[in-house]
Structure 1
Amino acid sequence: MTALALADYVPDRSLGAKIRRRLTRWKVAKPLPVQPRETYICFTFDDFPKSAADTGAEILDEVGARGGYYACTGMAGTSGTMGELFDERDLAPLVAAGHEICAHTESHVDCARASLNDVLVDIDTNLSHLKEMGHSLPVTQFAWPYGETSASLKPAMTTKFDAVRGILPGANNKGADLMQLSAYELDASDASTARAAAAIEAAAKNPTWLFVFTHDVRQNGSPWGTTPEDLRRLVRLARDTGANLVTPSHAVQEILAKDAA
C-alpha cells in the first residue's frame, strides 16, 4: 500500500458510518483508571512534516516543552500539500531534544474501512520501518489516521500501545478511553486556535489531560497545519497556566504514578 495524501481522502459520510463512529466512541476499550491530579498538555504533530520537526520543535523548545511526533513511514521523504515530510535524519535530533516518536501506520490507512488484520500488519510495518530508519527506542504511542477506528480494532491496540490518540475534541479525564483519547485539532482556521486556547484556559482551573495536534507549521501552509505564530501563542499560553507540557508517554506515566503514590 502507498500512503494516501490527506488531500485525496474522502471520509465515509453515510448514515451507517456515522452510527458506527458513535458506537465506537462509546465502546471504551481501556479506561483511564484515575483522574489526573495535575494538568498535562501534549502538543503533537501528525504524519509528520519537516516544518513540525524544525519550526514546531523550536517553538516547544523555547519554553522547555516536549512534544509527540506521529510518524507515517510510508510518507517519509515525500512532499506535497504539507510541504516536505520527515525522513530518517529528523528522528535522532528530536529524540535527543526530549521529544517522542510515535506510530501512525505505514500507509495512513483509514482503519475503520480496512480489515483488522490489514490494519495490524500496516502498523507492524510502520514500527519495523521506524527501526530500520534508526529509531531504536520502544514506540508506545499511536494515533489513528483521520481519527478513524472501529469497536473491534480498539481492543487489539491495548497490547501494542500504552495510549492511542484520536481527533475528536475534548479533555481526557478518569474513564477516558486510552485507545481513543480526545484531542483538539489545530488547523489553518482561527476557530481551531480559539477552541484550543479556550480548552487550555479551562484546563488551568480543573486538572485534566489535553492533546493539541496539527500537521505542518508554516506561513501559508496546508489546511491541516498552523502558523508558527499561532502555535507559539498556544504553547506560551499553556506554559503560563503552569501545565505540564510533556510527551504522551510522559503524561501517561505521570498520571498513573502520581495516583499510585
Structure 2
Amino acid sequence: MLDPSKYSPDRSIPAKIKRRLTLWHKAKPMLHMPQRGIVTFTFDDFPKSAAQHGMDILGKYDVSGTYYTCTGMLGHTNVMGEMYDEGDLDTLIKAGHEIGSHTHTHLDCAQVSRETVREEIETNLGALAQMTDASPRHFAWPYGETTKRNKAGMDDLITTARGILPGINRKGSDLMQLTSFELTPDQWTSERAAKAIETTARGGGWTIIFTHDVREACSPFGTMPKALEGLVRQARDAGLDILPMAEAYNQIQAEAA
C-alpha cells in the first residue's frame, strides 16, 4: 500500500496539463444545475480524528458528511494519526453519515490499468461489506489521480467519483471526476473554500470540500477543528443545503426528473 505521506504523484508541467485534459474529458456529465446551492464535507482515508472531531462539528449543526474509506488503512497509524476501526464505521453510520469508497491500497489510479482500478474498488467494497451493512456508491480517486480511460465504464460499481482539482460543480461537470476544495493547515485553503461557499450561495452549484485528519496539531493533509467549523457555520448561515454525497446527488437527479 502506498503511504500518502511519502508518495506524491508527478507534479511536472506535462503532468499538470494531462490532469487538466483528463478533467475536461467528461465521462458522465452532470445534466442539471442544483436549484439550491449544495455544500458537501468529505473526509478521505479516514483518520479517527475525522470520525471524532469531524463528526462532532457536523453534528453540532445537525448535518452529515461523507467518509471515503480506504480499507487497507484499517487500524494503521501514519502521519495523519490513528486511522479508523470498525467501531468508527458503526458510530458514523448510526449518526447518519455516509460511508464512501476508495481503493483498498490507496494506489495512484493514473499509473495502472482500468482492470486494476476495478479490482481495487471491488476489494475495498468487499472489505467494507464484511464490516458494515453500508453499500457505498460514491467514490474518491486517491491523490485525485485518474485517466480518461479509467473514468469510463465504472457505472456498475460507482455513481460518482470525486477528484481534488478545485472548482464548483455545475451543469456539465464530470460526475466521474467531481471538483473539490482541499482543506490543509494553510489558511489560504480555508479562505478559498470560504470564497467557494460564498459564490455557491450567490450563483448556485455544488461545492465539495475535503480534508483528512481534524485536530489541533493536524498533519499537512488535515485541518484544525476551528477551520472546519467556520466553513460549516458559513454554509449553514448562507442557507445552503449541507448534504453528504449520495443525498446531494439524489437531490440533483430528482430536480432534473
State whether TM-score is above 0.5. Answer: yes
**For the residues of structure 2 that align with 1:259 and 1:156, how far apart are their CA atoms?**
23
What is the identity percentage for the equivalent residue pairs of Structure 1 and Structure 2? 48
Match of 2:23 in 1: 25
SS at match of 1:61: helix
Divergent runs of 4+, >4 A: none
Aligned residue in 2 for 1:152: 149
Point out the more displaced range, 168-177 or 87-96: 87-96
Deviation at 1:6, TM superposition (A): 1.4
Specify the alignment match of 2:187 in structure 1.
190
SS of residue paired to 2:36? coil
Q: In structure 2, what is the Cα distance between the partners aligned to 1:44 and 1:225?
A: 12
Deviation at 1:14, TM superposition (A): 4.0
Match of 1:83 in 2: 81
Asked if residue 122 in structure 1 is aligned to residue 120 in structure 2, the reply is: yes
State the secondary structure of the residue aligned to 1:210.
Answer: strand
Equivalent residues of 2:39, 2:235 under 8 A apart:
yes
Contact 1:158/1:179, CA 8 A, preserved across alignment: no
Match of 1:144, as an amino acid? W
Counterpart residue number, 2:175: 178
CA contact (8 A) 1:31 1:176 kept: yes
Q: How does 1:67-106 map to 2 (within 5 A)?
A: 67-106=65-104
Q: For residues 67 and 99 of structure 2, what CA distance do their matches in structure 1 show?
A: 5
TM-score by length of 2: 0.97
- Kindly indicate whether the alpha-carbon contact (under 8 Å) linking 2:125 and 2:135 is maintained by their aligned counterparts in 1: no
Secondary structure of 2:111's aligned partner? coil
TM-score normalised to structure 1 length: 0.96
Please state if 1:43 is matched with 2:65: no
Q: 1:62 aligns with which of 60, 63, 69?
A: 60
Partners of 1:164 and 1:179 within 8 A in 2: yes
- Partner residue of 2:159? 162
Q: How many residues were matched structurally?
A: 257
